[in-house]
Structures are given as C-alpha cells and as structure tokens.
Chain A
Amino acid sequence: MVSVASGAETPARPDSLWLRWRALLLRHEWIRGYLLLSPTALVMITMLIVPILGLFLLSFWTQEYFEIHRDFTVANYLKVLNVADNPIYGLLLLKSIRMSLTATIFVVVLAYPMAYYLAFRVTKNKLMWIILITVPFWTSYLLRVFAWKIILGYNGVINSGLISAGILSEPLEFLLYNPPAVTITLAHAWAAFAILPIYVSLEKIDRSLLEAATDLGDTPFQRFWRVTFPLSLPGVISATLLVFIPTVGDYVTPTLVGGTSGIMIGNIIQSLFGKANNAPLGAAVSIMSMISITIVVLGFIYFVRLLFGKHAIQRAG
C-alpha cells in the first residue's frame, strides 16, 4: 500500500492518503459495509450472474456436431416454441410444472399441521423437535430418493412386503417408473423444506390477537381462518416457492424413479448438454424453463394477493 520509493521525499503523503481513506471509511458506513460484502459479491457476480448471462448468450448460438457457431440467432427458441414440430420441449415443460406443483401442494398441505403443532402445541423439548424436523433437510438428497427406488421397485420393499404377507401373489408393476412415483418421491424428499418457513411465520404471530379473537366470540375454526391462517401466509408462500422452483428442474428424482414416462425437463437439459450434444439448444430450453417458472410464480403471487390482499405478500420476501 505504501510506496517505498517515495518514502524519503514525501513522508506525509501516503500517510495522509491512508488517513483520508480511514476518514472516508469512518464517515460513510456503507463503504465499510460494501467492503466487507465485496468478496461475497465478487463470487456471486463471477459464479452466478456471469454464468447465467453466458448461458443466455449460448442460447442464441448454434451447434453442429462439435463446432459452435457464434452467429446470433433465435433458431433455438423457435425450435422450443414450435410445439407443432417439436412437441417434446413444451409438453415436458408443462408436465414438469404440473408434477412439481402437485408435489408442492402435497408438501405444503402436509407441512402446515406439523408446523402448527410445533409453533402452538410443543412447549417441552422444542429444540429437539426443531432439530428432528431440520435434520432430514440437510442429509443426502440422493439417498432420500434412492430409498424410494428400493421401496417402489418391482422386487422392492412394498411388493416383497405385501407378497410375503400373503396379500399379493404377483408384484405390482405400476409402483415405480411413472409420474406418480416421481411426485411421491419429490413430496417426501422436499418435505423438510416447507415446515420451517411456515413454522417461523406461525411463531411470529402475536398471541394476544388470538386471545382477542376468542374473546370476541370466534370459534377456534373461525379464529384459525380469520387470524392465524392469513398471518401465516408469508410462510406458506415462501414454503411454496422453496419447493416449487427447484423441483421443476429436478434431475435426480425423475432419473432414479421416473423411468421413461416420468422424465422431466431437467432430463432433457442434461441430455442436450451430454449425449445429444446440443448445448445451445439446451441453454434455450433452460432459459425457457426459468421464464415459465417465473410466470407461474408471479401468477401464484398475484392469485394470493387477489385472495388475501397486499399485506399477505409483504413479509414473504
């Protein structure tokens, strides 16, 4: 920082520069803040924003065999959007959205009572309960999905269990390798993601509001619908988004339990970047997926807003 050569002649100068810098830091809090933030911001720019822009750029190129043509063209997008000639992309995208929406609804509906129990009924060993709920969230996603493969398999846990119990004579074939298998697995593998956001928003609710509702004559059911549920909406919204957005592009679950009928858009993207060797088209498919996800999310938020008013969204951010 201090230049050695200029040391003798101008001793005050680097010092004063240093002092001025320090004065600037002391005066402007935000400079100190952004200085601390800068390494993380740098990582986010180079590893997140630039790559996504790169992907965006790639989607306007074309590839023939191993050669990439860098001329700007929207051919890839036309291919994806031309549902008449290439129905696979559009259909698969719609199917992925439908499957992960179903899984998300399952996850959120089942998580809500659990979160409610945690927030309102658990008084002893609360920490233990929270840990119990969060631990699966951190453990291997691959292994959670793998477990379902061995449960639903032709010679798997359910079939062999039912046969050895004498309930079945032949294994059921419809358990594995189809869309419902993917949906069930997704619903289980992502279950832990929904409880915490809902729990946090329930925990924040001012208990005196509930007492007021009771005192003013609400039945427990009315009180829930008019006070508790609307106030917990931010948590429900975060939970929905946290499960829905990542599952649309999921690759592991459809690959392990989906079979040919259960593939999702993630599988197509993977194959375009791999075996099918058409990365630019794959990039276009990914960009279209992200746009579709965004549209669904905005639609969902608009819908919630319509039903429950603006305030429902504000705390969800």
Chain B
Amino acid sequence: MTSPKRFDLLALFSIVYVAFLYGPVLLLPMFSFNDSIYVAFPLKGFTLQWYYEMVENTQLIKALNASLKVGIVSAFVSTVLGVLAAKAVTRYYLPGRGPVMGVIMIPLVIPSIILAIALLTIFRKFLDIDLSLWTVGASHVLVCIPFAMLVMIARLQGFDKSLEEASLDLGQGPWITFWKVTFPLAAPGIVSSLLLCFTISFDEYLLAAFLAGNDATLPLFIFSQLRFPNRLPSTLALGSCILVFSFVIVTFSEWLRRRGVPNESGGGIV
C-alpha cells in the first residue's frame, strides 16, 4: 500500500518526536549527577553529593509527607467516585447523560488557575474555611475524578454486562455479584485509576499553590527552591527522583489498564 521510503520518513519522524518528548526531561537526571553547582556543559564528573544534600533537607521530608498524604487520600476518594459514576453511565440508561458527562469533564479542560481561584473564593470569601492540606486534597479530587471516570468507563465497557446478569439470575444478591463478578473484572482499572490519580495529585502544583495555606506539598517545595541558584543541583536530584518514581508508577498502571482493553475506549482523552 505504501512505498518503503515514506514508511522510513514517518518512522524517523516518530523516533525524533519521542526523543523530543523525553529529551528535555532526561536532562534533569543527567545534571543531577554532575559535580558542579552550575547546570551547564561541559559535564564535570560524577557525584552523589546532591542526593545526599537532598535527603538531609528536613523541609523536603515534610513536604514529601504532605504530598503522600494528599495523594493517597485524593486518589482513593476520586477513584471511589469515579467507579460509581462510571458504573452509572455504562450500565444504566440515563436521561441527560450528555450534559452530566460534560460537567464532570470540565476540570479536564478548564485552566487550572480558574479552578484554583474559584475554589479559593468559595473557601475564603464565602465559607471562611482555613486553607490546609485538606483544601488541596479536595481540589485534587475534583481534577482527578474525570480521569478516574474515563479509566473506569473504558474498563467497564470492556466486559460483558451478561456476566453480572448471569450472577443475578443465578440467585446472587447485588452485593455478592459486585464482589464476586464486577470487582474482580474492574480491579485492573481500579488499581490503574488509583495510581494515575495519585500521580496527578503528587505532581500538581497550581491548585496546591493557591490552596495550601502554610503547608507545602512537594511541587510547592520544588518551586520555592528554584529561586536559589545554589540549591539548583539538589532540586535536580529531587526532580529526578520524582520523575523516576512517576515513570515507574505510570508505566505500570498504563500497562495494567491497556492490557486487553480496546484502544478506542477511554473517550480519546486518556
């Protein structure tokens, strides 16, 4: 159907494209091992100094703790909500499904800064809630729900409704059916959603910047370190750790999620 020459050109482009996608980010780990305070060529020599410096920073450990807490809680909550909502839209006939889905997907496209100030307004100007990690977590739940839901819709659409019906017809109650049929089938999607939502929350900067009050999450800590040129290398070390960590989690969850699920599902966004 196509000449081999065109194939090569497109393949070449794709390889260059992936290199472009990954190249800039790979500079962070590269310079994090560089024995120089400056992030510049030529490379000086290998060192682990910046990693030692990073581990000794107590503020960092505090921020890491905060991020882990927020990430775990918001991943859990948004996944539960995502599972319920995905089940509702895939299994039941819902009048007005389109507009409802439209609203749930808004956090995907709306600029984060608008979400951030809207939440800040409601928390501070209307409800007088003090900003804390809880307010950050709440905002992360909001942005994670669309992703959780899309992941779960793809998963639930992938399996046969008649499996559940068979269980119900054979006399099992809805709870048993859920635990013995629905849950095991949906489990890869659930795990994947938990991991993805955790990563989103763990890496999220802007909402946290507006809603964290005096507590800092890890991205806030990184941002604050960018002002100090002499801390740049240890910030690179921290960034590299986060990248590797996210990479492993996301690769695993993507693999889990996309195995055996038709590619078309997922709404084309995730």
Contact = CB atoms under 8 A, between A and B. Distances in A.
Given A36-B84, A37-B94, A127-B258, A141 B13 contact: no
A301 to B, nearest CB: 14
A214 B1 contact: yes
B109 interface: yes
Contacts of B118: 48, 51-52, 54-55, 286
B193 interface: no
A113 B13 contact: yes
Interface in B217-236: 219, 222-223, 226, 232, 236
Given A155-B39, A251-B113, 16 more contacts: A36-B85, A37-B100, A48-B106, A50-B122, A133-B21, A139-B199, A140-B203, A140-B205, A143-B222, A155-B40, A164-B41, A188-B24, A196-B269, A220-B6, A249-B113, A286-B118
Contacts of B246: 138-140
13 contacts: A30-B94, A43-B81, A48-B103, A55-B117, A127-B255, A142-B205, A150-B232, A159-B40, A160-B38, A161-B41, A249-B113, A282-B117, A286-B117
Given A29-B93, A121-B7, A133-B18, A273 B210 contact: yes
Greatest chain B CB density within 10 A among A30, A137, A139, A163 is at: A139
A249 B258 contact: no
Contact of A51 (B122, B223, B236, B269): B122
Contact of A286 (B41, B87, B114): B114
B13 A114 contact: yes
Interface stretch (A79-87, A238-246, A303-311): A238-246
Interface stretch (B25-33, B56-64, B180-188): B25-33
Interface of A: 29-30, 32-37, 39-41, 43-44, 47-52, 54-55, 58, 68, 110, 113-114, 116-118, 121, 127, 130-144, 146-151, 153, 155-157, 159-161, 163-164, 188, 191-192, 196-197, 199-201, 203-204, 214, 220, 235, 238, 241-242, 245-252, 256, 266, 269-270, 273, 279, 282-283, 286, 289-290, 293, 317
A47 B139 contact: yes
B17 interface: yes
A69 B199 CA distance: 41
A30 B96 CA distance: 10
B245 to A, nearest CB: 9
A136 B88 CA distance: 31
Query: B interface, how many residues as a size bin?
Result: 35 or more
Contacts of A116: 10
Contacts of A29: 92-93
Contact of B10 (A113, A283, A289): A113
Contacts of A250: 111, 113
Contact of A47 (B27, B138, B243, B266): B138
A156 B110 CA distance: 33
A54 B258 contact: no
B120 interface: yes
Please give me the 3 A-B residue pairs with the lowest Cβ-Cβ distance, nearest first.
Answer: A249-B111, A33-B92, A160-B40
Contact of A139 (B94, B107, B243): B243
B86 to A, nearest CB: 9
Nearest to B18: A132
B103 A150 contact: no
Contacts of A144: 24-25
A141 B125 contact: no
A148 B205 CA distance: 17
A156 B28 contact: no
Contacts of B20: 188, 191
A40 B84 contact: yes
Contacts of B247: 135, 139
Contact of A200 (B196, B199, B239, B266): B266
B85 to A, nearest CB: 4
Interface string B91-133: 1111100101001101111111111011111100110000000
A136 B26 CA distance: 11
B10 A121 contact: yes
A163 B85 CA distance: 56
A146 B145 contact: no
A163 B210 CA distance: 40
A317 B111 CA distance: 19
B47 interface: no
B205 A252 contact: yes
Greatest chain B CB density within 10 A among A37, A49, A153 is at: A37
A317 B259 CA distance: 26
A39 B142 contact: no
A35 B85 CA distance: 9
A131 B254 contact: yes
B150 to A, nearest CB: 11
